């Protein structure tokens, strides 16, 4: 009888191990670099791919991927599964700065597609070619403090030659909807060579949410596109831009093509704007239609800047003075800005197809097997007592 019981529990243990392999990751911190062969639990045991790093994380929580060496992205990264937590990629963790030993995020001309709140901080990007397209898909994007972008062929002047941050959807990427009322949230506190697009790119769509864009710290944005990028006929909701700290925006464009926007508000607290054009001078025949008066709220400090008079003349309404500012956009202390989607929406959590059965089903099966095992043990004991 003892042999039977041992065999039964051996089978139960084997089953539990199988289902645990299929379950979602349970880590909140993993390490990553080229050539890693470990489980991601430390810098001595790193993973070697973003996919493996995301799979190892419990994405219902706030998670961290630590770049502990050189990591190279050569193809589009699209995790493909929505999550409710957040992922921060950094080279500084637990008191150690891995940049001092050469850690960096290298990339060829490629895309990084977001399926939840995504942040980058205290890390170096290195362009091996000329572009990086960060596709937000209406998930919060944060470029936190201490981020650098390097690359001779990457200038920031166009999406094709920039570290581009796209708040909305990219045509042809992950079956984007052509209509949505979701907001976009972009926060940039450092970095350079950046081209920012508030909403979508290359999609004939109608996106009625609010684009919340905060540019602060020592960030240098080469181009800020306040609406969408191509084609003619795109319609978007509201754009709220906050400029603060020592940030620099070299060029602000309302549009590059015929576009309709519901409203545009600029909260200019500090920092500098070099040039402002509602319709880019590169596409002078295009038309921007704004359904409500455009508004600039300017602090006393920025009113003294060399470009203030020229830029403020572009707006229908101008409010001046510190008391004019309203709390339009709040940066969370954790750097990652949470989405302000309606609380009535049920969170979307897709279990990876390769992970087997849903976690709830797995737990149910395990409980059932344990209960069955208990019954068998009782029966065996009864037989043994006869």
Q: Are residues 81 and 207 in the same domain?
A: yes
Q: Are residues 2 and 43 in the same domain?
A: no
Residue 341, C-beta contacts closer than 8 angstroms, at least 6 positions apart: 182, 183
Model confidence at 3: pLDDT above 60:
no
Which domain, by its residues, includes 9? Answer: 1-24+358-386
Radius of gyration of the chain (CA): 25
pLDDT of residue 325: 60
Q: Are residues 20 and 146 in the same domain?
A: no
Model confidence at 9: pLDDT above 60:
no
Q: Are residues 74 and 60 in the same domain?
A: yes
pLDDT of residue 285: 96
3 state SS of 378: helix
Q: Are residues 15 and 69 in the same domain?
A: no
Q: Are residues 160 and 13 in the same domain?
A: no
Number of domains in the chain: 2
> Angle, nearest 10°, between helix axes 2-22 and 359-385?
180
pLDDT of residue 324: 62
Q: Are residues 59 and 8 in the same domain?
A: no
Q: What confidence category does residue 383 fall into, taking pLDDT thresholds of 50, 70 and 90?
A: very low
Q: Are residues 369 and 234 in the same domain?
A: no
In this structure, what are the phi and psi dihedrals at residue 350, rounded to the nearest 5 degrees?
A: -95, 125
Q: Are residues 268 and 364 in the same domain?
A: no
DSSP string of 177-239?
Answer: -SEE---EEEEE-S-SSEEEESS-BS---EEEEEEEEEE-TT-EEEEEESS-BSSTTEEEEEE
For strands 179-180 and 234-243, give the pairing: unpaired
Tell me: the pLDDT tens digits for 27-38?
Answer: 999 999 999 999
Q: Are residues 205 and 187 in the same domain?
A: yes
Q: What confidence category does residue 322 fall into, taking pLDDT thresholds of 50, 70 and 90?
A: low
Model confidence at 193: pLDDT above 50:
yes
Model confidence at 350: pLDDT above 60:
no
DSSP string of 262-327?
Answer: EEEEEEE-SSEEEEEEEE-TTSTT--EEESS--EEEE-TTGGGSTTHHHHHTT-SEEEESGGG---
pTM of the model: 0.80
| Of the candidates 175, 163, 188, the residue with the CA atom closest to the CA atom of residue 137 | 175
């Amino acid at each position: 009888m003892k042999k039977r019981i041992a065999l039964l529990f051996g089978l139960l243990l084997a089953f539990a191990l199988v289902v645990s392999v299929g379950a979602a990751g349970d880590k909140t911190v993993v390490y990553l670099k080229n050539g890693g062969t470990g489980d991601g639990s430390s810098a001595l045991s790193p993973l070697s791919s973003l996919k493996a790093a995301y799979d190892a994380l419990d994405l219902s929580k706030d998670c961290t991927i630590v770049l502990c060496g050189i990591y190279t992205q050569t193809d589009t990264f699209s995790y493909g599964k929505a999550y409710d937590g957040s992922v921060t990629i950094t080279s500084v963790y637990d008191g150690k700065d891995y940049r001092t030993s050469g850690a960096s995020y290298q990339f060829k001309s490629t895309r990084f597609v977001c399926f939840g709140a995504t942040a980058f901080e205290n890390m170096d990007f290195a362009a091996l070619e000329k572009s990086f397209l960060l596709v937000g898909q209406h998930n919060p994007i944060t470029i936190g403090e201490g981020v650098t972008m390097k690359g001779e062929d990457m200038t920031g002047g166009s999406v094709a030659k920039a570290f581009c941050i796209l708040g909305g959807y990219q045509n042809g990427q992950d079956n984007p909807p052509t209509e949505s009322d979701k907001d976009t949230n972009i926060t940039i506190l450092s970095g350079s060579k950046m081209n920012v697009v508030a909403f979508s790119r290359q999609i004939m769509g109608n996106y009625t949410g609010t684009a919340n864009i905060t540019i602060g710290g020592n960030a240098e944005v080469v181009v800020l596109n306040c609406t969408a990028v191509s084609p003619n006929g795109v319609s978007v909701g509201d754009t709220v831009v906050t400029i603060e700290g020592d940030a620099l925006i070299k060029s602000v464009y309302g549009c590059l093509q015929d576009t309709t926007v519901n409203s545009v508000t600029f909260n200019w607290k500090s920092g500098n704007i070099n040039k402002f054009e509602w319709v880019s001078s590169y596409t002078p025949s295009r038309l921007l239609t704004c359904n409500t008066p455009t508004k600039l709220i300017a602090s006393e400090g920025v009113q003294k800047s060399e470009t203030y008079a020229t830029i403020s003349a572009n707006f229908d309404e101008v409010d001046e003075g510190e008391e004019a500012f309203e709390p339009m956009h709040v940066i969370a202390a954790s750097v990652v800005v949470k989405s302000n989607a309606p609380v009535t929406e049920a969170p979307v959590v897709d279990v990876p197809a390769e992970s087997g059965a849903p976690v709830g089903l797995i737990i149910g099966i395990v409980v059932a097997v344990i209960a069955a095992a208990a019954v068998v043990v009782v029966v065996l004991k009864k037989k043994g007592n006869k």
